[in-house]
Amino acid sequence: MTMMQLWTMDALGRNSLRQQTAPIPSPARGEILVKVAAVSLNYRDKLVIETGMGLPLKFPFVPASDMAGTVAQAGEGTKRFKVGDRVISTFRPGWIDGLPSGTARVPPYETLGGVHPGVLASYVAFPEDWFSQAPETLDDAEASTLPCAGLTAWFALVEQGDVRPGQTVVVQGTGGVALFALQIARARGAVIVVSGSQEKLARAKVLGATHLIDRLHEDWVEALYRITGDRGADHIVEIAGGKNLGRSVEAVAVHGRISVIGVLEGFSFSGPSGPLLLKSPTIQGIAVGHRRALEDLVRAVDKIRLKPVIERRYAFHEVGAALDHLDRGPFGKIVVQVSD
């Protein structure tokens, strides 16, 4: 077979997204050809498709960044993988460890499904450094959820946050990153989940949440004070951004940490400066993470038997329905099955 299926677009907007056929690419020197088995969708992918997010997209454009698959062919000079190896993509190609590239004027954001081509295709041919080994204990759909959502939670709580036993972690929401954060934090300490859905809170309890706060029926900051005896949270996984970041400043413990990973309430933020000055918290933006941390996560997944939460798996021709599901706010991840 010399042709493959892929989703591509020649302009911004959901209406321009089309399933098409194209020749299977051949790996250049230093590249591997990967047969894609599953693609995990992020809310960011929906935003890129609809708005471009200000990124310099090159049309025709293939969206999505997170995949798992099997090496089908290794190009000349490759050393890291062999044919038959199971691999996952890296969200930020080229960021191996340490500090990413970029400047104060132009911050780094060179990702798959953005500046670089995406992975919503039957095959992809990329440099071998753009991949990591897949976990042995996860199937392809589960493994495809690690490059962005899984790594974001891991980078926030472990790589940067150093969450320790006995600490209290607040997780906002029940999306993909949030549920990874819940499971990672639960292995190390108490986890308080804040959500606007009683049904989703009940499901979070099953995953190990120690306390539940329904933000639609009570002030979540006051509820947190009550639960912690006014101490506050050692670490808050901030999903909403915007004005909610100000509430997180109120909720965080003295010298606590807030990891900002979402902007559901907007890209501009505001909040009280008094608690910020008096409590001296660390507020850090988390833009996923580097390949070395992803490799650490893969090892941890196999060791602790962490299981990603997938609400639904869609067939390859159902990408439109999968994007609609993202709009509704899934409990965990949405995955597109590309091949068996």
- List of residues 6+ apart from 239 with CB closer than 8 A: 171, 172, 173, 175, 177, 178, 261, 262, 264
Q: Which residue has the tokens 């995955």?
A: 335
Q: Which residue has the tokens 């959500």?
A: 195
Strands 333-337 and 31-41 turn out to be: antiparallel
Residue 33 pairs in a beta bridge with 73, 125
For residue 320, which of 85, 75, 7, 103 has the smallest C-alpha distance? 7
**Residue 96 CA to its chain's centroid (Å):** 17
How big is the chain by its Cα radius of gyration, in Å? 20
Structural domains of the chain in order of their starting residue, each with its CATH number? 3-145+309-337 (3.90.180.10), 151-285 (3.40.50.720)
What does pLDDT average to over the chain?
A: 94
Q: Which two tokens stand for residue 223?
A: 């509820």
- Give 271-336 as a DSSP string: --HHHHHHH--EEEE-----HHHHHHHHHHHHHHT----EEEEEEGGGHHHHHHHHHH--SBEEEE
pLDDT of residue 340: 63
Q: Please write the tens of the pLDDT for every residue from 46-79.
A: 999 999 999 999 999 999 999 999 999 999 999 9
Q: Please write the tens of the pLDDT for every residue from 18-47.
A: 999 999 999 999 999 999 999 999 999 999
For residue 212, which of 242, 187, 252, 182 has the smallest C-alpha distance? 182
pLDDT of residue 190: 83
Q: Which two tokens stand for residue 4?
A: 């493959």
Q: Please write the tens of the pLDDT for every residue from 247-279.
A: 999 999 999 999 999 876 677 787 888 999 999
Neighbouring C-alpha atoms within 13 Å toward the C-beta of 332: 18
pLDDT over 70 (residue 1): no
Residue range 99-107: average pLDDT?
89
286 pLDDT band (50/70/90 cuts)? very high
pLDDT of residue 295: 98
Q: Which two tokens stand for residue 39?
A: 């693609």
